[in-house]
């Protein structure tokens, strides 16, 4: 888990940008590019708001 970023409390606008960047290939990571590939804009926004509202462990 050490290599994976924490998303809890991250700004939703930041998460939206990263997921769109992964989806469009502007940001490169083999796992995340695949994961983001099938997400539409509305889904990305809900994911971002969900994680943004979580508190860190
Ligand atoms: C098997 C599960 C997952 C693995 C192994 C994984 C792995 C990773 C890795 C390695 C990165 C950093 C990529 C880089 O260095 O450029 C990353 C970033 C990210 N992941 Fe995932 N991820 C997983 C699931 C998810 C899920 C379910 C979401 C949300 C739908 C997600 C959202 C993000 C976001 C928003 C970033 C950017 C974080 C930042 O810039 O701080 N990931 N992930």
Query: What is the full per-residue pLDDT of the chain (57 aa) written as tens digits?
Result: 789 999 999 999 999 999 999 999 999 999 999 999 999 999 999 999 999 999 976
Residue 19 CA to ligand 1 center (angstroms) comes to: 9
Burial 5-36 (b: 16+ CB within 10 A, else e): eebeebebeebbebbbbbbeeeeeeeeeeeeb
Q: Is 49 in the pocket of ligand 1 (CB under 6 A)?
A: no
Residue 6 lies in a domain: no
Residue 7 lies in a domain: no
pLDDT at position 1: 78
Q: How many domains does the chain have?
A: 1
Residue 4 lies in a domain: no
Mutate to test the pocket of ligand 1, among 31, 34, 38, 56 (most ligand atoms within 8 A of CB): 31
Residue 57 lies in a domain: no
- Structural domain of 28: 12-52
Residue 24 lies in a domain: yes
């Amino acid at each position: 888990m050490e290599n994976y970023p924490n998303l809890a409390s991250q700004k939703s606008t930041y998460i939206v940008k990263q997921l769109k960047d992964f989806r469009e290939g502007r940001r490169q990571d083999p796992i995340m590019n695949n994961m983001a590939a099938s997400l539409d804009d509305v889904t990305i926004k809900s994911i971002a708001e969900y994680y943004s509202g979580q508190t860190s462990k």
